[in-house]
Amino acid sequence: MSVLHKVGRQVKYEPVEASPVKSFFVSMLTRDIKLEEAILDLLDNCVDGILRSPKRKNQEKPFAGFKADIVFNKDLFMITDNCGGIPWNLHEYAFRMGRSSDRPEDAPGTVGVYGIGMKRAIFKMGKDCLISTRNGTDRYEVEIKPEWIADETNWKIPVNAARKTMGEDGTEIVIGDLYAGISSRFGEDVKAFKAELERMVATHYAFIIDKGFTVRINGDIVKQYPTRLVFSKQSQGKEAHAIRPFIFKATTEDGVEIFVTVGFTRPIPSLDEIENEQDERQYSSIDAGWTIICNDRAVVYCDRSELTGWGEAGVPRYHNQFIAISGIVEFKSDDASKLPTTTTKRGIDASSPLYLQIKNKMREGMRLFTDYTNKWKTRADESKKQISAGKLLSLDEIKVEAESLPFAATKRTIPQGDQYRPELPMPKQLEPHNRRISFIKGVDEIKCVSKYLFDDDEKEPSIVGEKCFDLILREARK
Amino acid sequence: MKQPPYHMRQNKAVDRLMFIEVIKRLDKIGSLSEYTYYGLGGPYLEEFRLLYEFFPDIEMVSIEKNAEIVKRADFHMPCGKLRLEYADSRDFLIHYDPKDKKSIFWLDYTNLSMHTFEDFQTLLPKVTANSIIKLTLRAEPRDYKNEDDRISFRRKFEAFMPDSIVYPPVEFEKLAALLQEMLQIASQQILPAINELVFQPMASFYYTDGDGMFTLTGIVCERNQWDNIRNHFGDLPFSNFNWNKPKSIDLPYLSTKERLYLERHLPFNGDPGEGLLNILGYSIDEDRSKSIAKFRQYADFHRYFPYFIKAIP
């Protein structure tokens, strides 16, 4: 409709049509999110369902007994859970585009904030969707048809009593009429897509799966790989010097609980290993770096960039020599809007004042371990003994151990909290009394000398070089 | 300088002839003279000798990074259609430009490393449609006997792992199947369904002549041409067009006299395992069931089974 009507030489101003355009929501909302992330949004809804569920009893494994089954093929996508279903009093929120301000209060810890996750996931995948849910006595279904998406004027979605009988409280979402690009990822590319989705679930849901939640993808149970840090209980002569993680914990005035820990996941690499890594890339992915968890979901996984403090404020840039360093930051809040996450819930809001404060602590802790690595890299064998003496502990296990550690209050710095700074072992001589000798020789020449010295032409070049030096040293000292 | 006598490896010899069967059928989808063959021929250039015998029109390139081996390969040059390229295979692939020519690649590795997958992924988007890629990689279960090695494998190849549970299995057959799945994932990552080109498998085998190996042969073709191409390869022996489990090549050691005696009963009507055992009248392996399995292998591959005969030059 034209805004301006010329009446003679006069212009008549009319109200502008500013109502939302449905096709905009359907096409634009879905562009900013990866398919795998859209599916993780659906899993987030499952976990929010568990947090609302009265069935949650087990304190140690609060998600035990709850499960989500994801099935996809070239024709459909389906997710079925037993996580409590969608209460009728939340139906407006669940199916409306965006969250209204008068929404009833939700259970503590749920992460749904913006009211777009489920809809975005559905519109990302296909044009036909049936959502069936059972929550106590509420048993209903919502069907979104291609005609509804095409109709720009109709914003009401019909709700019917459920035709499907569900054995327990939960939700089933079936999406059909898949878009061609989605259908091919679930069909022809299924191997690569399933592998990638499984990897993302295993990493982003590691802590929830560890607490008992079961996720199946096309029949296969997803196994988690949570980060574990070396924690040495051995005194090694002096109680104070042992490989343990740095820990910082605090609670903000508005109730966000924070737990930061950083340490070693494995022995530090020797100079030879670092050099070999440059020559031949050993790993397709590396589990070093920072993982940030918001209400049990990992929103950042193994980051090694400035986002998590690498390469800024005195912390060196990430390099393979730091492959053994990992950290975890946990934010917990009953009100998810207080958490420093992005709208996709798969990233951290880098400009959040809370996160910027915590990042100072992350860098402070990280420097202890980059410094240790630099001090010991020429003595990697000795360091290996120190690190291998410890046990690998999960985040929850570290929290248990932390109770008996001597924490110091950090009242004069921001953020305020309590922290434990481990006294990491230091070399007896700060300046190493050894120096590294390195030189380049032809492969055939090294093999020739190796054969001469060891009757074996396959010895490591460093061993061949060292033997040569030892022989000449003996000569020189005669 | 020690070089394993590749030409004396009977299972690999069969695999090589199975590859020849694939190349033979390429003339059904175009002229063989449009192809250039690239391989890692080592000092003896065995596969090139064989290729020239079957396909004298194909241009050939052998890539070798060791200068001494290049000299030795030059000594073994089987024909004038072969060019020796003194280069590391990774560097070669980075600079490789097919210039609209079709290629046949055999990346014949003796180990299993990230390079294997990186080379495959480098090559996939570069070759022209209807090019062939064959990869051979180490699949030795004893490499993963201890826990550290299994964890290291998982960590190393995380990006190609089919699921979050899998570790390298100790059974040869399952390890070969896992490597095939990993290559399938690697190919789908580079040529996803939105791409016009696709990597389709044609044959896959696992065998050991000392160390376990897995080999996969496939074609990079236009997605909508695959059904048509598959029809032309319909008679390919032991084909694997659907990423099914790889087939074992595990031939028995038989004397020439035994082989000639058995050959007159082949092809065998019924189960050749039981049948050939009964014809020979004795086991040729540790027990009856292993002997039956070996006889089945012999029946399957006897036409491709080389004779190694002692000769005095």
Choose among B66, B185, B243: nearest Cβ to A192. B185
Could you read off the pLDDT of B242-282 as tens digits, one per residue? 999 999 999 998 888 999 999 999 888 889 999 999 999 99
**How many domains does chain B contain in total?**
2
Of A185, A222, A225, the CB nearest to B193: A185
Instruction: Report DSSP letters for A79-148, one per residue.
Output: EEE-S----GGGHHHHHSSS--TTPPP--TT----SS-HHHHHHHHHEEEEEEEEEETTEEEEEEE-HHH
Q: Is residue B47 part of a domain?
A: yes
Instruction: Label residues A422-437 b or e (16+ Cβ within 10 Å = b).
Output: bebbeeeeeeeeeeee
SS (H, E, C) B218-287: EEEEEHHHHHHHHHHCCCCCCCCCCCCCCEEECCCCCCHHHHHHHHCCCCCCCCHHHHHHHHHCCCCCCC
Average pLDDT in the B212-218 region? 97
Contact B194 A181 (CB under 8 A): yes
Q: What is the rounded distance in angstroms from the CA atom of residue A291 to the CA atom of residue B242?
A: 39
Over residues A379-397, mean pLDDT: 85
Q: Which of A201, A284, A444 lies nearest to residue B114, judging by beta carbons?
A: A284
Residue B311 domain flag: no
Is there a single domain that holds both residue B261 and residue B229?
no
Residue B215 pLDDT more than 80?
A: yes
Considering only CA atoms, give the Rg of chain A. Answer: 28
Nearest to A189 among B117, B158, B188 (CB): B188
> Which residues, listed in sequence order, are joined to residue A128 by a DSSP beta bridge?
A176
Question: Which of A184, A225, A285 is nearest residue B193 as measured by Cβ atoms?
Answer: A184
User: What's residue B23's pLDDT?
Assistant: 96
Query: What does the mean pLDDT of chain A come to?
Result: 83
The answer to whether B160 contacts A285, with C-beta atoms less than 8 Å apart, is no
Q: Is B147 on the interface with A (CB under 8 A)?
A: no
B34 and B68 assigned to the same domain: yes
Domains along the sequence of chain A with CATH: 22-221 (3.30.565.10), 230-420 (3.30.230), 443-477 (no CATH)
**Taking 80 as the threshold, does the pLDDT of residue B176 lie above it?**
yes
Please list every residue in chain B whose beta carbon sits closer than 8 Å to the beta carbon of residue A192. Answer: 184-185, 188-189, 192
pLDDT category of residue B8 using cuts at 50, 70 and 90: low
Q: pLDDT band at residue B119, thresholds of 50, 70 and 90?
A: very high
Q: Which residues of A touch B184 (CB under 8 A)?
A: 191-192
Averaged pLDDT, B90-117: 91
* B171 shares its domain with B276: no
The verdict on residue B196 lying in a domain is yes
pLDDT tens column, A147-193: 888 887 777 788 888 887 888 888 999 999 999 889 999 999 999 99
Q: What residues 24-83 of chain B have any CB closer than 8 A to a CB of chain A?
A: 66, 68
Please tell me the distance from the alpha carbon of residue B73 to that of residue B46, in angstroms, as a whole number: 10
State which residue of chain B sits closest to A442, comparing Cα positions.
B66
B262 in the same domain as B215: no
Q: Taking CB atoms and an 8 Å cut-off, how many pairs form between chains A and B?
A: 80
| CB-based contact A138:A85 (threshold 8 Å) | yes
Report the range out of A26-30, A110-114, B116-120 with the highest average pLDDT.
B116-120
Q: Of A72-81, A93-102, A249-258, B7-16, where does the model show the most confidence?
A: A72-81
User: Which chain B residues have a beta carbon less than 8 Å from that of A201?
Assistant: 164
Does the residue B110 lie in any domain? yes
Lowest mean pLDDT among A156-160, A425-429, B72-76: A425-429
Query: How far B37 CA lies from chain A's nearest CA (Å)?
Result: 27
Does the residue B56 lie in any domain? yes
Residue A409: the pLDDT is 82
Residue A252 has pLDDT above 50, yes or no: yes
What pLDDT is recorded for position A428? Answer: 73
- CA dist A72 and B190 (Å) reads 21
Q: Is residue B178 part of a domain?
A: yes
Same domain, B164 and B181: yes
Q: With an 8 Å Cβ cutoff, are A201 and B157 in contact?
A: no
pLDDT grade, residue B84 (50/70/90)? very high
| pLDDT tens figures, B15-46 | 999 999 999 999 999 899 999 999 999 999 98
Q: Quick one: B167 and B260 in the same domain? A: no
Phi-psi label, residue A237: left if phi above 0, alpha if psi -120 to 50, beta otherwise: left
Global pTM value: 0.79
Whether B75 and B128 share a structural domain: yes
- Verify that B50 and B181 share a domain, yes or no: yes
Per-residue CA distances from A200 to A82, A297, B162, B308 (Å): 21, 11, 12, 52
Q: Are strands A138-144 and A159-161 parallel, antiparallel or unpaired?
A: antiparallel
Distance from the A127 Cα atom to the nearest Cα atom in chain B, whole angstroms: 20
Least confident of A28-37, A142-151, A468-477: A28-37
Q: How far apart are CA A243 and CA B195, in angstroms?
A: 50
Give residue B296's domain range: 256-304
> Tens digit of pLDDT for each residue in A214-248?
999 999 999 887 788 999 875 555 455 788 999 99
Average pLDDT over residues B106-132: 93
Q: Are residues B231 and B272 in the same domain?
A: no
* Min distance B267 CA to chain A CA atoms (Å): 37
* Average pLDDT rounded to a whole number, residues B136-147: 93
Q: What mean pLDDT, rounded, does chain B reach?
A: 91
Higher pLDDT, A103 or A36: A36
Same domain assignment for residues B241 and B279: no
Task: Give the C-alpha separation, A167 to A82, whole Å.
Answer: 9
User: CB-CB: which of B156, B164, B198 is closest to A202?
Assistant: B164
Q: For residue B1, is it within any domain?
A: no
Residue B310 in domain: no
Residues B2, B196: Cα–Cα separation, whole Å: 45
In this model, does residue A119 exceed pLDDT 50? yes
Statement: residue A6 has pLDDT above 60:
no
pLDDT over threshold 90, residue A115: no
Residue-level pLDDT at B34: 92
Percent of chain B scored above 70 by pLDDT?
Answer: 97
pLDDT digits (tens, 9 = 90+) for A258-313: 999 999 998 888 877 777 766 666 666 677 899 999 888 888 888 999 999 998 88
Contacts of A198 in chain B (CB under 8 A): 163-164
The mean pLDDT value for A77-94 works out to 82
